[in-house]
Amino acid sequence: MKAILMSDCGSPEVLQLADIDTPKISHEHQVLVRLKAAGINPIDTKLRSNGTYYPDLMPTVLGCDGAGVIEAVGDAVTDFKPGDEVYYCRGGIGGPQGNYAEYSVVDARYIAHKPQSLDFTHAAAAPLVLITAWESLFDRARIKAGQKVLIHAGAGGVGHVAIQLAKSTGCEVITTVGSEEKAGFVKALGADTVINYKSQDVVQATLDWSGGEGADVVFDTVGGPVFEQSFAATRPYGHVVSLLQHNANTDWKVARLRNLSTSHELMLSPMFFNWHQAEKHQADILTQCASLFDAGKLKIELADTRPLAQAAEAHRRIEQGGMVGKLALEIA
């Protein structure tokens, strides 16, 4: 089968189209998926540049997100059958084969039926950002109707999904963007107030919006100084959840004075540590999100799609920054 092989870490040129063996089912819970599309995420570019979680297992195939059609199932698989259309986030961190390929074998317990309303490219772009936003807002911050939520970088892959999930829960949402184009995009998603972080003071704008209190929940998808800045934008006893590891020199004084709670989200941890119940929970998230897609309450924005052979060019596009939404590779 055709696949994009990464034989070493480095620039996008290390991603090369190659012929490799088609994987086979080796466990009773596995399914063989004929991939139609693969999502591309910033984590893919970081693994390519810096090395994977399993540096001794090279060459490897990247790509955590996939969508396709089941061609065969293991003996213990009862919820899926050949011909079913599925989407999932599994593989692609250097261990099990990723989804920049024509076929993949995945554990059926960690996949979900594809939303009927999405084509394969949109479905493939969705899983990692859906799970990340869901776990951050619901599992970590435990948002509820009526709360005020600040979402940093609302036009990004995770951010634009987070806005929709928060709004569907009945929250008021304020979000940051860097251009008028992105401001229009997030308003169309339902954001109540938009801050242009290039021309406005994010903390002051959030305080003005919230009557001086601050947001009940702040979702940091950017990291660095934005994480520390978020403390002053959060109401006393509020919550800040971040996707990034904080700097060693982070000043926690404001967070302590305001009695804030903080948490971190890395949706890849269950795959790396083989936390099976957590992986099943992530598949359940995708099932619930499929219902939201099909009910018209959720959508995924695709900035661009590329054929499988242009994976390297897609990585370059992500690394340029400033993108609205997601990228995907079309495989068949």
Judge whether 273 and 95 are in contact, CB under 8 Å: no
Strand, helix or coil at 192? coil
User: Block means of pLDDT (10 residues each) for the chain, length 332 residues?
Assistant: 96 97 97 98 96 94 98 97 98 96 97 98 98 98 98 97 98 97 97 98 98 98 96 98 94 97 97 95 98 97 96 95 92 87
For residue 87, the model assigns a pLDDT of: 98
pLDDT in the model for residue 332: 77
Q: What is the pLDDT of residue 323?
A: 85
Q: Return the sign of the alpha-carbon dihedral for residues 151, 157, 162, 168.
A: positive
Torsion angle (degrees, nearest 10) of CA 60, 134, 129, 255: -100
What is the pLDDT, as a whole number, of residue 284?
98
pLDDT for position 59? 96
Report DSSP letters for 254-312, one per residue.
HHHHTT-EEEE--TTHHHHHT-HHHHHHHHHHHHHHHHHHHTTS----EEEEEEGGGHH
* C-beta separation of 290 from 314 below 8 A: no
